[in-house]
Structure 1
Amino acid sequence: MTARRVLTGLVPLLLLAATACGDDGGGGESTSESGKKLNKVTLTLNWYPYGEHAPFYYGKAQKIFEKHGIDLAIRAGQGSQKTVQATGAGQSDFGWADTPALLGGVDSGVKVKSLGVFLQTTPSSVQFFTAQDIKTPADLKGKTIAGTAGDALSKTFPVFLRKNDVGQSDVKVQNTDPAGKIAAVISGKTDGLLGYASDQGPIMADKAKKEVGYLRFADHGLNFYSNGLITGTRYLADNGDVATRMVKAVSESFAAAQQAPGPAVAAMAGASEQLPPQKVLSEQFATTVTLLHTPATRGKAPGVNTDGDWQRTIDVFAEAGVVKNPKKVSDYWDAAVAAKG
């Protein structure tokens, strides 16, 4: 075996170890100030903290997790795919990850399940400065868009174009590192980027001091599940009661944060050295709360899912090639735990 192959094989393991390391490990118990016994659990995010994650920090600050018997440690992530891998490997008790990464992970044998998707309207979008005068998908013809090869956005973009009668060859997608997409647009190397309306857009507007426009996939005929709560199947089998309480705590935290957006964002202070400015966090969270439901779940608690919405999501990613061997909804989502939550 060549040295390159050895190193390539080791990289995912090293990344998983890096995600799992730290002195805030899950497992065991702690005691609250009031003397209540708490289960210590870890939650690995999909990325470094940004506005979408405010409910977790607010839930901690308001002792919502403590109310449900949970001592929560929140860890930054390095992309949904790595979060899915780490959670499936038992190196994080819970994860916050994009549904296509979960689908792809299960498809490739990762032992992980969703406990409920919270961002049920996808934030996937084409983002650009409004000076580009892009109003409809047809206006993308002849444009160059920054995307990252292999990620869910780049794989679903052709589906988005087809649904809007735009040829894939009419739009150039320039392969760009995730961290470099905003810089590519600001520098004029690309006309726009593929990103999340709840993430990159407000950051780009703040950095460039220019208004950002969006073509949201969901507004143009293509919706699917996005970020949600996941856990490993082994952890779920051994800690079903903790998982049920975690679902309840996350749902209650989202509901509470939605009612108090200012305090929820303020609760993120000090969460990360990479934390965006508070104005950006506020805009990110304001967009996040618009993504919590589909028509089938409107009026229900955050995190309530339906089989129909799951099946539509699976179908989209089967069409996009993310899922090679589509399985039953129950292979991806544990509805029983969600129902108890």
Structure 2
Amino acid sequence: MTARRRSPGLLLPLLLVAVTATACGGDGADRTTATGPGGGLDRVTLTLNWYPYGEHAPFYYGKQRKIFEKHGIDLTIRAGQGSQKTVQATGAGQSDFGWADTPALLSGADSGVRARSLGVFLQTTPSSVQFFASKNITSPADLKGRTIAGTAGDALARTFPVFLRKNNLSESDVTVQNTDPAGKIAAVISGRVDGLLGYASDQGPTMQHKAGKKVGHLRFSEHGLNFYSNGLIAGERYLSGHREVARRMAAAVSESFAEAGKAPGPAVAAMKGASEQLPPEEVLAEQFRTTLTLLHTPSTRGKAPGVNTEADWQRTIDVLAEAGLVGEPRPVAEYWDSATAPKG
């Protein structure tokens, strides 16, 4: 998710990510460990879209419950610095796998980044306008004349005009105040803006916890605009030499999401100690609860997490092209490796 930020001082230098990832995942390195039932496990790295928060609970739960080991994977999870950098690092082979926003993946492809999706898990976008309930915003029409904090150039800011058009509003009806991602919550709490562009599974629970006030949302998906969000990606170079590992990784992530959904409390508890920047447990719980509402579209309901359809992919490409995030739309197969993706 490209819009998530906390504090510039907390950013890990991308060079550090690259050096560490190369040490574990570079060509020629020993890619197996001797642990696990029945023989060695394939060592892989996964770079998240940001510092760990509630959405990531299934990865930690899957490690704790040895789901990844069951699929022959010895998983190392790393914090990221935003989806765009995760896409770039994964495409460059600095991380075996990435967890990143689909708009960043498609935009990266336009820039020559060679990475593909192994399955989008957040198939309903968490993109939303977020505000304190006391603002009495109950429909998109109530945004007219309001000032909203957004970050120029990110996927939220680029798709917001499409959301407005879908709801018979023009861009001039709403003032979008360009705000650093780390400052958006503070801008709402201080009253400088009426709301922010963010993700229902991220900023909302944090803002509610910090201010002690109920937060409301206008979700894009509930008002005529949906597109794929976060999912598992791999670089094309890695896929060319490790397709079977990638298939098992996708299956392990799918099973981890399914099992975490059955035990949300233990899944969130499995994140303890994951990061010094980890949100409070009640915020993590709310973030993960919201994440569980985003896993399917009508065409995948009842299927395993991470199972995608070509039609949903095409709708996403069309929306992102309309928003200007994709300059040269390509066939679905150039973005999504359906042969490696979760099944069922």
Tell me the TM-score normalized by structure 2.
0.93
SS in 1 for 2:24: coil
- CA distance in 1 between counterparts of 2:35 and 2:91 reads 29
1:164 matched to 2:167? The reply is: yes
CA distance in 2, matches of 1:31, 1:263: 28
Q: Give the paired residue count.
A: 328
The residue aligned with 1:301 is 304
| 1:228 pairs with one of 226, 231, 234 | 231
Q: Does 1:114 align with 2:117?
A: yes
- Tell me by how many angstroms 1:87 deviates: 0.2
Deviations 1:44-100 (A, max 9, x none): 000100000000000000000001110000000100000000000000000000000
Name the residue aligned to 1:25.
24
Q: 2:7 is matched with which residue?
A: none
Q: Which residue of 2 aligns with 1:320?
A: 323
Counterparts in 2 of 1:28-67, with a 5 A limit?
Answer: 28-32=31-35, 34=37, 36-67=39-70
Q: Secondary structure at the match of 1:166?
A: coil
Q: For 2:340, what is the secondary structure of its paired residue?
A: helix
Give the partner amino acid of 1:17: L
Give the match for residue 129 of structure 1: 132
The amino acid of 2:52's aligned partner reads P
**Map of 2:288 onto structure 1:** 285
Q: What's the offset of the Cα at 1:31?
A: 2.0
**Which residue of structure 1 aligns with residue 186 of structure 2?**
183
Alignment correspondent of 2:9 = none
The partner residue of 1:216 within 214, 219, 241 is 219
Q: Which runs of 4+ in 1 moved over 4 A?
A: none
Question: What residue ranges of structure 1 are gaps of 5+ in the alignment?
Answer: 1-13
User: 1:340/1:160 Cα in 2 relative to 1: closer, same or farther (>3 Å)?
Assistant: closer
* Map of 1:259 onto structure 2: 262
8 Å Cα contact 1:186/1:208 also seen in 2: yes
Q: Which residue of 2 aligns with 1:155?
A: 158
Alpha-carbon distance in 2 for matches of 1:47, 1:339:
23
Contact 1:201 1:212 in 2 (8 A): yes
> Per-residue displacement from partner, 1:30-51 (whole Å, max 9, x unpaired)?
1225563011100000010000
Q: C-alpha distance in 2, partners of 1:25/1:157?
A: 39
Shift of 1:25: 2.4
2:147 to 134, 144, 150: 144
Cα distance in 2 for partners of 1:20, 1:140 equals 42
Mapped to 2, the partners of 1:15 and 1:106 lie a distance apart of: 23
Find the counterpart in structure 1 of residue 6 from structure 2. none
* In structure 2, distance between residues paired with 1:284 and 1:133: 23
Cα contact 2:251–2:342 (8 A) shared by 1: no
User: Which stretch shifts more, 273-282 or 17-26?
Assistant: 17-26
The separation in 1 between residues aligned to 2:190 and 2:110, in whole angstroms, is 38
8 Å CA contact 1:58–1:267 kept in 2: the answer is yes
Identity, in percent, stands at 74
1:80 corresponds to which residue?
Answer: 83
Task: Report the secondary structure of 1:210's partner residue.
Answer: coil
Which segment drifts farther, 220-229 or 173-182? Answer: 173-182
Deviation at 1:167, TM superposition (A): 1.3
Quote the Cα distance in structure 2 between the aligned partners of 1:231 and 1:191: 39
CA RMSD, Structure 1 to Structure 2 (Å): 1.4
Stretches of structure 2 that go unaligned for 5 or more consecutive residues are 1-11
Deviation, structure 1 residue 16: 3.6
Structure 1 letter corresponding to 2:15: A
Distance in 2 (CA, whole Å) between partners of 1:276 and 1:207 is 11
Alignment correspondent of 2:72: 69
Once the two structures are superposed, residues 228-267 of structure 1 have per-residue CA deviations (whole angstroms, 9 ceiling, x without a partner) of 0000000000000100000010000000000000000000
> Do the aligned residues in 1 keep the contact of 2:36 with 2:69 (CA within 8 Å)?
no
SS of the aligned residue for 2:308 comes to coil
Alpha-carbon distance, 1:166 to partner: 1.0
Which secondary structure state, in structure 2, belongs to the residue aligned with residue 303 of structure 1?
coil
The 2-side partners of 1:203 and 1:157 are apart by 22
Q: SS of the counterpart of 1:337?
A: coil
